[in-house]
Amino acid sequence: MSTNAPPIQRLISELAKLPGIGTRTAQRLAFHILRADDVDANGLADAIREVKERIGLCEECFNLADGPRCRICLDERRDTAILCVVEEPGDVIPIERTHEFPGRYHVLGGALSPIDGIDPDDLKITELYERVAHSEVKEVVLATNPTTTGEATALHIADGLRERSPAVTVTRLASGLPVGADLEYADEVTLSRALAGRRPA
């Protein structure tokens, strides 16, 4: 039986549900929150409440949004002719950090994995086909992860787009060696793709 008062125990239990947080860490965080001043502790509670109440999915691209449409879809300076398809909202951030992509996004909400019961109907793939068919999109960049499930998703969508919107160019992010990596450690699939995708120096 726990020696903590029920409210403390409840906080520990809730924190321990977070990914990567075990009971010991949850207990440390709970005591930190208890020691924190009221403004900080209530700020954390308010932030959690606000994010749950105000954040939903953009009705156009399914990225996270604090209104009907996300900030990227609302930005009229973005190029509407090019669409980047990613698995999760978190994948938009690293692409935005490059400042190289001028277009808009489409967030699938995961990757295909029939083994895990994730079929095309579980993702925003039909919505992507509709969006491409009824807009001025000229190029779709498939930026799913270069994992087995990400590759399967990209191949499936590429087939679907070629069938439904043959005029649209479908591209895939290049595969190759990360900057600063050693050739010695490169795996054979990555290295053979890097060789196949070589370009004039």
94 belongs to the binding site for another protein (CB under 8 A): no
172 belongs to the binding site for another protein (CB under 8 A): no
Q: Which stretch binds another protein (CB under 8 A): 5-13, 44-52, 71-79, 106-114?
A: 106-114
Smallest distance from the beta carbon of 193 to another protein, in angstroms? 8
Q: Quote the CA–CA distance of 89 and 70 in Å, as a whole number.
A: 11
Cβ nearer to another protein, comparing 95 with 186: 186
Among 27, 120, 168, 194, binds another protein (CB under 8 A): 120
Smallest distance from the beta carbon of 8 to another protein, in angstroms? 26
Smallest distance from the beta carbon of 137 to another protein, in angstroms? 18
Note the Cα 140 to chain centre separation in Å.
17
DSSP 81: T
Cβ nearer to another protein, comparing 42 with 147: 147
Q: Which stretch binds another protein (CB under 8 A): 26-34, 35-43, 57-65, 112-120?
A: 112-120
Neighbour-count burial for 67-96, b at 16+ CB within 10 Å, e otherwise: eeebebbeeeebeeebbbbbbbbebbeebe
Among 36, 47, 55, 189, binds another protein (CB under 8 A): 189
Cβ nearer to another protein, comparing 79 with 146: 146
The answer to whether 72 touches 55, Cβ cutoff 8 Å, is no
Sign of the C-alpha dihedral, residues 11, 15, 21, 25? Answer: negative
* Nearest of 91, 85, 88, 58 to residue 74 by alpha carbon: 58
Among 99, 187, 195, 200, binds another protein (CB under 8 A): 187
Q: Which stretch binds another protein (CB under 8 A): 5-13, 56-64, 98-106, 140-148?
A: 140-148
Report H helices in the chain.
6-15, 23-35, 38-54, 71-74, 92-97, 125-133, 148-164, 188-196
Q: Quote the CA–CA distance of 173 and 187 in Å, as a whole number.
A: 18
The answer to whether 153 touches 173, Cβ cutoff 8 Å, is no
188 belongs to the binding site for another protein (CB under 8 A): yes
3-state secondary structure of 56: strand
193 belongs to the binding site for another protein (CB under 8 A): yes
Q: Which residues bind another protein (CB under 8 A)?
A: 20, 112-115, 119-120, 146-148, 151-152, 155-157, 159-160, 163, 178, 180-181, 185-190, 192-193
